[in-house]
Amino acid sequence: MGLIVQKFGGTSVGSLERIEAVAQKVAAFRHEGHDLVVVVSAMSGETNRLLAMAHEIDPQPNPRELDVLLATGEQVTIALLSIALEKQGIPARSYTGTQVYIRTDSVYNKARIQNIDSKRICNDLESGRIVVVAGFQGVDEKGDITTLGRGGSDTTAVALAAALKAHECQIYTDVDGVYTTDPRVVPEARRLDYLTYEEMLELASLGAKVLQIRSVEFASKYNVPLRVLSSFESEGGTLITAEAEGMEDPLISGITFSRDEAKLTILGVPDKPGVAYHILGPIADANIEVDIIIQNVGRDGTTDFTFTVHRIDYQKAFEILQEISRTLGAREVRGDNKIAKISVVGVGMRSHAGIASTMFRTLAQEGINIQMISTSEIKISVVIDEKYLELSVRTLHAVFELEKNSSGNGLSY
């Protein structure tokens, strides 16, 4: 029947009862004739508990030792799930990232996978075992334990699926697929049956948290079919592939949003070559990621420069910009940490004009001012006042006719 890699997140394995329920779900696939590799996260809340203990001892713990600590969460889960499978008479074997030899670089707390030695896994599969692998972790060339950052178990699963040439990688979570928008904001939101890698990357980078961005990038690079499913329901799901079925029809697949935005503007900067570097260079040196950037047309020898950052970086970026302002002789620095970003995403936008004008007209009719605009082939993003976020999402969802036609839980935001 083919090899399937399945990943179960923290809420899916959040208790002994849920771990046994996962074992039953995995066993059902096994009885259908599939070979299975199962990747699991730590039990819900465990990673936060471990982090809290580390930070209670030292607010800035040594990154290497922090990875040694955090990796223990998944080790508990893989052992318990293997025990649950064995209880049902299904041979299983658990492995940490080190035992499987998921080789990473040495960037502790956010390492990247470089290669995987799949020999032990293949031997176990040939022997009829289900292989249970700890997500979120690996080992560097020195033999030190590393972790992949929040959501890293998704990346582990996709990387294993690529290395093993699996038929499909199934991501089980507490939602039953990817939706046209967050149903907590728009109850009529519809679960999508299919998405392309491009669309999922845009949705994930623009606010939808159902999949880690790096896992989608990995899937796209190695052409691994991804399916998002619910751990608690037997139906539904969203398939993510290179070319999803039926994607020529809809212009817009989804509307996503981010509340965690802040805007900074430096006014009256001397308009000369290199000004953008002099502004954004120190921001980058402080490890602050910049999103949308706008530079106004120069006038009277000066220009205004505006960019957005994550809200948690707002104060730090503002202080850096004030120093840059004094160095460059700019007139003023302004900031706003009460903004939001809304994006419409869809591969159909490539061949259809008028999406932007419809979006802008709709917001104008509601009296909502657009502060910044960013576009790509398959997405349009706008920055607006945060207080208009939910009104904007509901109105755009209705205008683009993304109404609900199936039931289920919603996209995780």
- 210 assigned to a ligand binding site: yes
224: annotated binding-site residue? no
Q: Tell me the two tokens of residue 241.
A: 């592939």
Question: Rounded CA gap, 398 and 392, in Å?
Answer: 10
Q: Is 271 annotated to bind ligand? A: no
Whether residue 93 is annotated as binding a ligand: the answer is no
State yes or no: 281 annotated in a binding site.
Answer: no
What is the edge-to-edge ordering of all strands in the sheet holding 226-230?
A: 92-95, 130-134, 35-40, 3-8, 168-173, 226-230, 238-241, 194-196
Is 232 within any annotated ligand binding site?
no
Distance CA(202)–CA(380), nearest Å, equals 10
Q: Say if residues 7 and 154 touch (Cβ distance below 8 Å).
A: yes
Is 74 marked as binding a ligand?
Answer: yes
For 155-193, b/e burial (b = at least 16 CB within 10 A) is bbbbbbbbbbebbbbbbbbbbbbbbbbbbebbeebbbbe
179 among the known binding-site residues? Answer: yes
- Bridge-based pairing of strands 379-385 and 332-345 is antiparallel
Sign of the Cα pseudo-torsion (160, 213, 344, 230, in order)? positive
Chain position carrying tokens 């936008």: 349
**184 belongs to an annotated ligand binding site:** yes
Contacts of residue 380, Cβ cutoff 8 Å, sequence gap at least 6: 343, 344, 349, 355, 356, 359, 373, 374
173 is in an annotated binding site: yes
What end-to-end distance do the CA atoms of the chain give, in Å?
34
User: Which residues participate in the annotated binding site?
Assistant: 7-10, 47, 74, 173-174, 179, 184, 209-210
User: Which residues participate in the annotated binding site for ATP?
Assistant: 7-10, 173-174, 179, 184, 209-210
User: Which residues participate in the annotated binding site for substrate?
Assistant: 47, 74
